[in-house]
Structure 1
């Protein structure tokens, strides 16, 4: 089992070593793609609401939409799924883009195929650099390997400290920025990273697994207190690469994760190579491994609304996870801002909230919980027939039985919060977990 000292020693070592991906570099000139035709008026109003940064203004816009008789569930769903248009945006290599997150300016590098067409949905690969590198350096090593079906974005974070809450916010903000500007297929967003970037891939990917079509962490690992969060990857494929002779991040870190995934029955790919780099030793990503990884990307498509989910949460991550959200719990661990340093008793004991949910039969949802006091289900017609009664069984007791109500307000509010055109929910159902009888 891994421990905190192993991870910390590895992080200190990697900060002194320049990590080489050893992939061919390249660039592209900048041009402009042609815009799509303008959207219909209702769709324009819907997207104006979804994209409005000011919450007060957004609420006014929402009330206007709800007062419009044309704002129906069918019309809104159709508009969100198919009605967004994308403006003329640069294509090619943009090595120094900027974004402000928590009042701090960060940089990211972006590559858009010269053949980009706004009418087509593209895959998006998000790559997190290691210590001693920056996003633009990784961009050069990746962009020509992906081909014309992918956008590539590589944010830069100081020292490659992707295991912090600030870095997590940056990655999510960059993804939302790129999705707002370019036509990204939300079912083909991938997160990958090398060394410290691989640690970030694990942490961000596990806490936000429902956003990604796949994770590809390289030469990285996890502290043992974080291993329970692997359960969140129930429907998120993983491709792991690690060098057997890695002297910075010991290969046993990835071997442990692979064993944990196998133990909980999650299929994954584990690639262990014997190669060494003149400067980085075994701590690098060999170019020979890339074709198989890109082929794997090509084969993955996210299931946006799976019929079964597992979610593990500590107290600082209570955002929705797919179609469920943990709302209140017994006392559980709460991570510090760097997500790894806090070592109080609840963290050492891995005291986390757990929820397993599945559509067990038509209009019957079964839930098993641990340390959860209240949770919320977000439903749509992919999960239940809203014209018929729905039964929710929690810990083998019926906790809800009856009709549920679909509303366009729920649809719009959830669409704005999630920014995901494939995860649209019209029903919000809060469930109080009953304490077992003594």
Structure 2
């Protein structure tokens, strides 16, 4: 697999994770995604689209196309560890420096290691073994939070699956990624026209949501997020969009368990919210 930034690569990675989980006893809160060079691009792209699956991502000697930068917002609760050689002649180090600046701009924590080493054959484009102890120590220190109380998701039209306890269901006209984003992109992609949803549990049984280009979304709820014995209030774009009781059901629990195959993300209730048109 050379093009790790494609939809086929994403599906392969997800299928591999599911296959390993079926065969071995894997802690779902200790799954990491890493890669170098083209594989590092895949770690970024797949990690951003599937962030709730991972305890952390560690891209090495890689970078991101400028049109993908908005998806870094999806890593709000997913730790990042970057490694890049200052003398990398294949993937210029400025690629990782640009990502670091973007993460700084949105206020996300990360680790960035920039080394000066060169390999006799690979030059600056390689992973020095001297970096391994710190990377392993970082892996050992991370553990996924499967149900964070604050979530951000940025989506284009080919990724409408659940993202943690949220799912964007319908949007205004937004970009739709092709199989090969690098060589094929529509005008909406070039304009970075993506849907965005930010949700936070701000008080007991009160969830506040801010949306951009979203027409309808779904919240998946469990006892870690709300108390089902009391009314729940959902505020969307500063307007109350739901207030009342939410009933958990076995049917919803089983359907979500079958869909997610993740014992740490079980949701017995879901609530679909229609977003009111905002008056300019």
Normalising by structure 2, report the TM-score.
Answer: 0.99
- Matching residue within 108, 121, 131 for 1:289: 131
Q: Secondary structure at the match of 1:229?
A: helix
Displacement of 1:342 in angstroms is 2.5
Contact 2:37 2:91 (8 Å CA) reproduced: yes
5 Å-filtered alignment, 1:343-422, equals 343-422=185-264
Q: Secondary structure at the match of 2:27?
A: strand
- Matching residue within 161, 177, 193 for 2:3: 161
Matches of 1:302 and 1:340 in 2, distance apart? 30
Q: Secondary structure at the match of 1:293?
A: helix
5 Å-filtered alignment, 1:57-136, equals none
Q: Which structure: larger Rg?
A: 1
Q: Secondary structure at the match of 1:415?
A: helix
- Matching residue within 165, 169, 175 for 1:327: 169
Q: Secondary structure at the match of 2:92?
A: coil
Contact 1:165 1:339 (8 Å CA) reproduced: no
Match of 2:39 in 1: 197
Displacement of 1:345 in angstroms is 1.5
- Matching residue within 151, 155, 175 for 2:17: 175
1:275-312 CA distances to partner (integer Å, 9 max, x unpaired)?
00011100000000000000000000000000000000
Contact 1:391 1:398 (8 Å CA) reproduced: yes
Segment of structure 1 superposing worse, 338-347 or 192-201: 338-347
Matches of 2:63 and 2:49 in 1, distance apart? 15
Match of 1:218 in 2: 60
1:362-421 CA distances to partner (integer Å, 9 max, x unpaired)?
000000000000000000000000010000000000000000010011000000000100
Matches of 2:149 and 2:8 in 1, distance apart? 32
1:152-198 CA distances to partner (integer Å, 9 max, x unpaired)?
xxxxx2xx210111011000000000001100000000000010000
Matches of 2:131 and 2:180 in 1, distance apart? 31
Match of 1:242 in 2: 84
Normalising by structure 1, report the TM-score.
Answer: 0.63
1:207-249 CA distances to partner (integer Å, 9 max, x unpaired)?
0000000000000000000000000000000000000000000
Displacement of 1:339 in angstroms is 2.9
Q: Secondary structure at the match of 2:254?
A: helix
Matches of 1:427 and 1:386 in 2, distance apart? 9
Matches of 2:264 and 2:112 in 1, distance apart? 29
Matches of 2:278 and 2:135 in 1, distance apart? 47
Matches of 1:340 and 1:207 in 2, distance apart? 16
Contact 2:176 2:186 (8 Å CA) reproduced: no
Question: Does 1:270 find its partner at 2:103?
Answer: no
* Deviation beyond 6 Å, 4+ runs, structure 1: none
Displacement of 1:330 in angstroms is 0.1
Matches of 1:334 and 1:340 in 2, distance apart? 13
Quote the RMSD (CA, aligned, Å): 0.7
Match of 1:92 in 2: none
Contact 1:164 1:338 (8 Å CA) reproduced: yes
Question: Does 1:303 find its partner at 2:111?
Answer: no
Contact 2:62 2:91 (8 Å CA) reproduced: yes
Question: Does 1:427 find its partner at 2:272?
Answer: no
Matches of 1:190 and 1:432 in 2, distance apart? 35
Aligned residues: 280
Q: Secondary structure at the match of 1:241?
A: strand
Segments of 5+ residues of structure 1 without an aligned counterpart are 1-156
